[in-house]
């Protein structure tokens, strides 16, 4: 499976409505702390917007709702994996991306045979407190050797200046949150990401 090299992560359908029409082809809806009814509505809106713009939607964490809403791709972390029903996810025909932060998590992820493996944080991130030190580009090289042909997603502290390094080290896709959502001009920054990832597409 080929992933788009630009992997946008946002926390609302409103962000998807704002940025996906610019040409984003791979987007994760990552919503924390929201009641089920509102969450379902967000997933439904996000799914409709992505369908309209031929963009692949990936739902973070909420795999049951994603199945119920007919989505086709979920992302889970290793804590999520402990309670997720992988058989139900696969039976629903869904694809699956998994997070990894260390060697033990990598072994667990490879055993689950996901559709991509994410490695992070590559650089320091301000999105959330992480118990892992930044992994650096050498770790991407090592991960690539272990996971190929499963696609590798790099995440954490990425920005347009850091993209070529991540791809040269072996990442197939670069995921981003704050470099875009906290930018003064998220639309312009999104266009910059699309342009910068073009040669890796």
Ligand X SMILES: Cc1ncsc1CCOP(=O)(O)O
Ligand Y SMILES: Cc1ncc(COP(=O)(O)OP(=O)(O)O)c(N)n1
- Contacts with ligand Y by CB under 6 A lie at 9, 28, 30, 60-61, 75, 77, 80, 97, 99, 118, 120, 128, 153, 155, 175
CA–CA–CA angle 66, 25, 201 (5° rounding): 135
Residue 83 assigned ligand-binding role: no
**Cα(59)–Cα(139) distance, rounded to whole angstroms?**
26
Is residue 151 part of the contact set for ligand X (CB under 6 A)? no
Site map (CB under 5 A) of Mg ion, residues 64-103, x = contact: -------------x--x-----------------------
Residue nearest to ligand Y (CB): 77
Q: Which of 67, 13, 58 is nearest to 39 (CA)?
A: 13
Residue 102 assigned ligand-binding role: no
Element (H, E) at 52: helix 36-52
Own/partner pairs, 157-162, CB within 8 angstroms, 24+ separation: 157/121, 157/122, 157/123, 157/124, 157/125, 158/122, 158/123, 160/189, 160/192, 160/193, 160/196, 162/122, 162/123
Residue 177 assigned ligand-binding role: yes
Measure CA 129 to chain center.
18
**What are the Cα distances from residue 149, in Å, to 74, 116, 120, 144, 178?**
19, 9, 19, 8, 29
Residue 196 assigned ligand-binding role: no
**Cα(156)–Cα(9) distance, rounded to whole angstroms?**
11
Residue 32 assigned ligand-binding role: yes
Q: Which is nearer to ligand X, 44 or 165 (CB)?
A: 165
Is residue 179 part of the contact set for Mg ion (CB under 5 A)? no
**In the complex, what is the shortest distance from the CB of residue 60 to ligand X, in angstroms, rounded to a whole number?**
8
Is residue 109 part of the contact set for ligand X (CB under 6 A)? no
Sole binder of ligand X in the list 49, 155, 169, 171 (CB under 6 A): 155
Pairing of strands 56-60, 116-119: unpaired
Residue 157 assigned ligand-binding role: yes
Sole binder of ligand X in the list 97, 114, 156, 170 (CB under 6 A): 156
**Which residues of the chain form contacts with Mg ion (CB under 5 A)?**
61, 77, 80
Binding-site residues from annotation for Mg(2+): 61, 80
**Which residues of the chain form contacts with ligand X (CB under 6 A)?**
120-121, 125, 127, 155-158, 176-179
Binding-site residues from annotation: 28-32, 60-61, 80, 99, 128, 157, 177-178
């Amino acid at each position: 499976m080929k992933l788009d090299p630009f992997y946008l992560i946002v926390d609302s359908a409103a962000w998807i409505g704002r940025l996906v029409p610019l040409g984003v082809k791979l987007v994760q809806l990552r919503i924390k702390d929201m009641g089920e009814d509102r969450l379902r509505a967000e997933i439904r809106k996000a799914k409709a917007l992505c369908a309209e713009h031929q963009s692949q939607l990936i739902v973070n964490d909420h795999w049951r709702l994603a199945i119920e809403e007919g989505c086709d791709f979920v992302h889970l972390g290793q804590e999520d994996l402990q309670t997720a029903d992988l058989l139900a996810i696969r039976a629903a025909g869904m694809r699956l991306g998994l997070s990894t932060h260390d060697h033990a998590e990598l072994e667990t992820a490879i055993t689950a045979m996901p559709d991509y493996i994410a490695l992070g944080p590559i650089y320091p991130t301000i999105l959330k407190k992480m118990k892992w030190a930044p992994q650096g580009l050498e770790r991407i090289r090592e991960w690539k050797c272990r996971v190929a042909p499963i696609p590798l997603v790099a995440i954490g502290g990425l920005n347009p200046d850091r993209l070529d390094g991540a791809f040269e080290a072996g990442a197939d896709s670069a995921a981003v949150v704050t470099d875009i959502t906290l930018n003064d001009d998220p639309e312009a920054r999104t266009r910059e990401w699309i342009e910068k990832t073009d040669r890796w597409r």
